[in-house]
Amino acid sequence: MIIQNMLRLFTFHISLLTFVFCAFSQGNESGDDFIPVNKEVKHSTVFGVMGMNEVYDSYISPYAFNDGVDFRVQRETARMTKLWGGRVSNQSFIDVNVSSDLMTEGGPEWYTAGLRYGQGWLYNFHDCNVVNPAEHSARKWNYAAGLQASGYLGGVYYDRSGNNPGQIKFDVTVNATGILAYTIHRRKHRPIVLSYQLTFPLMGIAFSPNYGQSYYEIFELDNNDHNAVFVNTFNMPSNRHRFLVDIPIRRGELRLGYDVQINQAKINNLEYYNHSIDFVIGFTKYFTRR
């Protein structure tokens, strides 16, 4: 069901993106002065609207919930550094989301919420960069790849489960991440930039109760049972995808796109997944640092 709903939502959003793209494709003429690459800082804030999600946690319930709504806020800051001859960019990333899944009867039953923070360093494979590719190169394609340190704190709550109504989610991971940017150069107008970013965990540590273990045993009786678990790409096959288009508007840019997150794990004989897709809209601004 969620796949069909996502396809319908995807079709609607593609139509909306096409309309907005055409409406702003003429943009404003660029009269900005040249700014040294390592002095620029990009700030971007987007809001996830009309999102959908699917949640399953075997520790709480044997049922999956696939008619949920998802709300998301993301804050990104990116800049070039002097590392490796000035080709390494830094990206800090904050993602906050809240979702609620609706049963056919009885109203909201399942709630999830979480905060993820990431700090990444990416090597840019050309003299230009993915922080602001539109301003510093005539190249159409720019790409960068590197590592990201990430931490997540959240939880899942099911208000109709008597024994184990909630589940804490916590992990610290080292992720692989890569960005591909395509610049649409336009005569007398500021360029439009399309970008795609993929992030997935390589290794880390995650918290999880063991199979059949209660939180009372963990926190009150102090009976630890393999609750700090080593995770990797195989037992936590999660990945996050960001499809974005930055359209020039006045001194900034309108940012539109999709955020797709597939968060899942199978540890301590427990299975969990939280799949979400959000249409995101927001703004990007560039600042000069001293």
Residue 187 sits in a domain of what CATH number?
Answer: 2.40.128.100
Encode the chain (290 residues) as per-residue pLDDT tens digits.
444 554 454 444 444 444 444 444 344 444 444 445 667 899 999 999 878 888 999 988 887 877 788 999 999 999 998 888 888 999 999 999 999 876 555 655 788 999 999 999 999 998 778 888 766 666 789 999 999 999 999 999 887 666 677 889 999 999 999 999 998 877 677 788 999 999 999 999 999 999 888 888 888 787 788 889 999 999 999 999 999 999 988 778 999 999 999 999 999 999 999 999 999 999 999 888 77
The whole-number pLDDT of residue 2 equals 45
The whole-number pLDDT of residue 123 equals 95
C-alpha 120/C-alpha 118 separation (Å) is 6
The whole-number pLDDT of residue 33 equals 45
The whole-number pLDDT of residue 256 equals 96
pTM given for the model: 0.83
C-alpha 258/C-alpha 278 separation (Å) is 6
The whole-number pLDDT of residue 138 equals 64
Domain span at 29: 2-288
Nearest to 117 by CA among 156, 170, 56: 170
For the chain, how many structural domains are there in total?
Answer: 1
Residue that has been written with the tokens 């208000």 in this structure: 159
Nearest to 34 by CA among 187, 188, 125, 137: 137
The whole-number pLDDT of residue 38 equals 66
How far does Cα 213 stand from its chain's mean position? 31
Spatial contact of 180 and 194, defined as CB atoms under 8 Å apart: no
Spatial contact of 257 and 238, defined as CB atoms under 8 Å apart: no
Query: Which amino acid belongs to residue 138?
Result: A
The whole-number pLDDT of residue 176 equals 97
Exposed/middle/buried for residue 150 (C-beta within 10 Å: 0-12, 13-18, 19+): buried
Q: Which two tokens stand for residue 2?
A: 């969620």
3-state secondary structure at position 41: strand
- DSSP-derived secondary structure for 22-55: HHHTT-----PPP--GGGEEEEEEEEEEEEEEEE
C-alpha 238/C-alpha 233 separation (Å) is 7
